[in-house]
Amino acid sequence: MPTICHKGRKLKYEIHLTARRKTIALKVHRNGDIDVRAPKSVKATQLRQFVGKRADWLLDRQTYFADLARKFPPKEFKNGETFSALGRNYRLKIERRPGLSQPVCQPSGRSLQLLVNGHAGEELERDIQSSLKDWYSNLTEKKVRSVVSKHARALSVAPKTLKVVEQEKRWASCSRNGDIRCNWRLAMMPIPVLEYIVVHELCHLRTRDHSPRFWRIVKSVLPDYEKRRHWLKLNGGPLEGMFGA
Task: Tell me the pLDDT band of 169, cut-offs 50, 70 and 90.
Answer: confident
**Using an 8 Å Cβ cutoff, are 147 and 199 in contact?**
yes
Residues of the chain with pLDDT > 90: what percent?
73
Q: Supply the pLDDT for residue 242.
A: 65
Helices (H) and strands (E) in the chain, counts: 6, 11
Average pLDDT for 101-129: 86
Rounded to an integer, what distance in angstroms lies between the CA atom of residue 19 and that of residue 216?
41
Task: Tell me the pLDDT band of 29, cut-offs 50, 70 and 90.
Answer: confident
Range of weakest confidence among 46-55, 61-70, 158-167 = 61-70
Average pLDDT for 144-162: 95
Output the furthest CA–CA distance in the chain (Å, rounded).
Answer: 60
Length in residues, the chain: 245
Q: Supply the pLDDT for residue 2.
A: 93
Q: Which domains does the chain have, with CATH numbers?
A: 3-71 (no CATH), 82-240 (3.30.2010.10)
Q: Is the pLDDT of residue 219 over 70?
A: yes
Beta-ladder partners of 181: 163, 173
> Residues 144, 224, 204, 234: what is their CA dihedral angle, to the nearest 10 degrees?
-80
More confident residue, 123 or 137: 137
Q: Is the pLDDT of residue 149 over 90?
A: yes
Q: Closest Cα partner for 111 from 98, 96, 95, 123?
A: 95
The runs of H, that is alpha helices, within the chain are: 44-53, 55-71, 121-155, 191-203, 212-221, 225-240
Q: Is the pLDDT of residue 168 over 80?
A: no
Rounded to an integer, what distance in angstroms lies between the CA atom of residue 215 and that of residue 111?
39
Report helix, strand or coil for 22. Answer: coil
